[in-house]
Structure 1
Amino acid sequence: ITILLVLLGVLWSFIHLRRRAASSSPNHQNHDKKLPPSPPSLPIIGNLHMLGKLPHRSLQNLAQKYGPIMSMRLGCVPTIVLSSPQAAKLFLKTHDTVFASRPKVLVSQYLSYGAKGMAFTQYGSYWRNVRKFCTLELLSATKIDSFAAMRREELELLVQSLKAAAEAREVVDVSEKVAGVIENMTYRMLFGRSIDDRFDLKAIVGEAIRLAGVFNLADYVPFLGALDVQGLTGRMKATSRAVDKILEIIIDEHVQEASSGHQRHAMDFLDVMLSLMNKSTISTHDELSHMIDRTSIKAIMLDIISGAIETSATAIDWTLSELLRHPKVMRKL
């Protein structure tokens, strides 16, 4: 810790002297004039110390002083904060393509295979082609209708298990049950098979989602990344290895089935992606076929699984909660 403090002190002095020298130049002064109003910042950490335990409230208080569009420096990251519907419309609709890309964060390096999925990749031709491919091959009306029988089967199994638990007067974790059904549906749509008892992909994906939502100081003060002061990088690497091992097994099994000519199921989403990568079928996604590789496939699959399990289960949880709070509405269903 002592060595770290000494290094921080030396670095602070260096940065402070450079900033003072740069601030006196005309170019720097012209650049500052283009930025929205900003609260005063500290060396290295910028305005991070002003966020507090409830950042949304802290930002609201700052917006009352500096306006609905203000600039901040979160560590080394220049940031624009919007605090009004009009400002949000300006950034998210009028100039949406300019701000379409996500910021580069450490979690995308380890848990999105270097931002090769949809969630963290930069806005551009690759993102557009992947999004188009996933929509047509997985989320189109035709594809959704083709999975209707599977969804009905999974829901019937859920209802039967709930009835059995009710008759036995057992306590049921509805959230866990719903998440299990969503997980099974997702695997059947992507891999053509149900949950595999050999591994617990849901638990590992859950850890990945938690890591993606944690405040990581290294995203704002990059030189701290090598020190891993929060222990997050180690967790990310371990989770990445665990996910990669499972996805490699699943992909290898699909490749072996396809090469042997004894496919046990209809062509699923993973099969379509592999055929696109190998250019073994005539496809409308020729542009994507030149961009996609095995790593891209794993990144896309992980993004879809994370989004499907987390988002769908959470939405159903809240829907059930609201129905329980409004019995009159529930009786109409």
Structure 2
Amino acid sequence: MSFNLQVLIFASLPFILALFVLKSYVSPSNSHKDLPPSPPKLPIIGNLHQLGSSPHRALHAMAQTYGPLMLIRLGSVPVLVASSVEAALEIMKPHDLVFSNRPKLSIPSRILYSSKDIAFSPYGEYWRQIKSIAVLHLLSNKRVQSYRHVREEEMALVIDKIQKADGSVVNLSELLISLTNNVICRVALGRKYEGGKFNNLLHRAVGLLGCFSVGSYIPCLRWVDKLSGLERRVDKVAKEFDEFLEGVIYEHVNKKGGDVKCQDLVDVLLDIQRNNMTGFPLENEMIKALILDMFLAGTDTTFTSLEWAICEVLRHPQAMKELQEEALKIGQGRSMIAEDQLEKMVYLNAVLKETLRLHSPIPLLVPRTQVYINAWAISRDPSMWEAPEEFRPERFLNNPIDYKGFHFELIPFGAGRRGCPGIQFAMIINQFALANLVYKFDLAVVGKDSLDISETNGLAVHKKRPLLVSATPSV
């Protein structure tokens, strides 16, 4: 975001100076008394220059002055920012329908087939149909459970790699990325696509979805996106992903036989297409957009939450001790903690809830119409949380607050109609992986930077530095 913004400010400087001169001679005729409080803004770019590299933190700081419901300008676009439980609840519950649309953003539109996916498609009949397909056929409890063997096999491979390191340094961040990507590859596409090419493509696409497009907010300055090379990079990634997914669909259409019980998500979508199980033709572009949703939303947010959880328990030895004791009690010497045992791990789930509170994967959620909900600020509100900056999993013991969209103090996955439909799919990976890592190994941090909690932004907010550990068997 920072490079494009610097180009934008430099390019806009003559216009800004001219408008400042004009503004000194002309007074606004409308006082806008009924609008929420607004911070001062610059002509053309509005408040864009104030967002910096961490918009969720900048908006949280601004809310301390202008209140939990404020109006800012991103270029020519007025945007409402909600930073309190009360404001979020009003937007996502009684007024959920009014705020269920998505703004038209250039980058998601180019990568996701004119926003034919679930996350970015406009609210309406098409969105309702594809969300219904996802909820009923791709993300149902039965479907998620059917891929249990995939999670078990991939987790066993991670454990094996750590064991083979024999106490030497392990880049746990890389292993967690690999675990998440491999699970989703097998579930969505039927097999793993290992190697640098696919991972590089996925990394570039996720990075671009986290970029700021000047043209989306200041149409007259769309040329800045071209000048910076952003449009070219987006179109290149979109083309490469389309070619990859065309190949995947071709493989699935032409494969012979196969076990219906082991269908991947492409198989399921092609069955729906062939049997005309929807009220409209399910075109290949729609299938590709849905599969891209799984990768671009699922891999990044799932991996980053798991990485933050391990980082936090390593930073807090007492939390690690309690988590490991619980895991050893549940595991009872078996080779692995089974998924059906995870619901008994009360402290494990408290650790994950506390991680999601402190490290919301997408801090501002996906914007609704022209509304940003600062989930990161809400989960650190001192009026709602005692010692909000501290990592205290105990706050969720004997506490009904959950992350599924019914408690607005904790909404890392959103809520209402546009809440994330893949919560169960993501969280079972996190629960299973975290439980078995602490069950199988005593983890020790290598290097002082490993526990640094500095952030880097993209589609999700990542830990800036990789998590390097040494691991010795705990059982």
TM-score bracket, shorter-length normalisation: 0.7 to 0.9
Aligned equivalent of 2:275: 281
| Alpha carbons 1:16, 1:43 under 8 Å: kept | no
Q: Give the aligned residue type for 2:126.
A: Y
Report the CA distance between 1:60 and its aligned residue.
4.2
Aligned equivalent of 1:185: 183
Larger RCO: Structure 1 or Structure 2 (Cα < 8 Å, ≥ 6 residues apart)? 2
More helix by share: 1
Report the CA distance between 1:99 and its aligned residue.
1.5
Q: Give the aligned residue type for 2:182.
A: N
Aligned counterparts of 1:58 and 1:141: Cα–Cα separation in 2: 38
Aligned equivalent of 2:283: 293
Q: Give the secondary-structure state (helix, strand or coil) at the position aligned to 1:91.
A: helix
Aligned counterparts of 1:5 and 1:181: Cα–Cα separation in 2: 43
Report the CA distance between 1:12 and its aligned residue.
8.2
Q: 1:321 to 1:13 in 2, by over 3 A?
A: closer
Structure 2 residue corresponding to 1:176, chosen from 174, 179, 197 = 174
Query: What percent identity do the matched residue pairs reach?
Result: 34
Aligned equivalent of 1:255: 253
Report the CA distance between 1:34 and its aligned residue.
4.2
Q: Does 1:302 align with 2:299?
A: no
Q: Deviations over 1:156-184 (max 9, x none)?
A: 22222221122xx5422122122212222
Structure 2 residue corresponding to 1:208, chosen from 200, 205, 227 = 205
Aligned equivalent of 1:219: 216
Aligned counterparts of 2:194 and 2:60: Cα–Cα separation in 1: 47
Aligned counterparts of 1:208 and 1:153: Cα–Cα separation in 2: 27
Structure (1 or 2) with the larger CA radius of gyration: 1
| Alpha carbons 1:201, 1:243 under 8 Å: kept | no
Aligned equivalent of 1:136: 136
Aligned counterparts of 1:178 and 1:57: Cα–Cα separation in 2: 26
Aligned equivalent of 1:67: 67
Q: Deviations over 1:126-169 (max 9, x none)?
A: 22222221122222221122222232222222222221122xx5
Report the CA distance between 1:58 and its aligned residue.
4.4
Q: Give the secondary-structure state (helix, strand or coil) at the position aligned to 2:164.
A: helix
Aligned equivalent of 1:271: 267
Aligned equivalent of 2:472: none
Aligned equivalent of 1:328: 321
Q: Give the aligned residue type for 1:101.
A: N
Q: Give the aligned residue type for 1:296.
A: M
Aligned counterparts of 2:116 and 2:164: Cα–Cα separation in 1: 44
Q: Give the secondary-structure state (helix, strand or coil) at the position aligned to 1:184.
A: helix
Q: Give the aligned residue type for 1:39.
A: P
When structure 1 is superposed on structure 2, of 236-245 and 129-138 the one drifting more is: 129-138
Aligned equivalent of 2:234: 236
Q: Does 1:319 align with 2:321?
A: no
Aligned counterparts of 1:54 and 1:185: Cα–Cα separation in 2: 30
Q: Give the secondary-structure state (helix, strand or coil) at the position aligned to 1:128.
A: helix
Q: Unmatched 5+ residue regions in structure 1?
A: none
Aligned counterparts of 1:171 and 1:6: Cα–Cα separation in 2: 47
Q: 1:8 to 1:270 in 2, by over 3 A?
A: same
Aligned counterparts of 1:64 and 1:213: Cα–Cα separation in 2: 25
Aligned counterparts of 1:208 and 1:200: Cα–Cα separation in 2: 12
Aligned counterparts of 1:282 and 1:293: Cα–Cα separation in 2: 11
Aligned counterparts of 2:28 and 2:18: Cα–Cα separation in 1: 15
Q: 1:69 to 1:16 in 2, by over 3 A?
A: farther
| Alpha carbons 1:12, 1:44 under 8 Å: kept | no
Report the CA distance between 1:54 and its aligned residue.
5.2
Q: 1:95 to 1:42 in 2, by over 3 A?
A: same
In the superposition, the TM-score normalised over structure 1's length comes to 0.81
When structure 1 is superposed on structure 2, of 50-59 and 214-223 the one drifting more is: 50-59
Aligned equivalent of 1:147: 147
Q: 1:12 to 1:233 in 2, by over 3 A?
A: farther
Q: Deviations over 1:75-112 (max 9, x none)?
A: 11111122332222221222122112232211112211
Aligned counterparts of 1:41 and 1:121: Cα–Cα separation in 2: 30
Q: 1:273 to 1:21 in 2, by over 3 A?
A: farther
Q: Unmatched 5+ residue regions in structure 2?
A: 1-8, 328-475
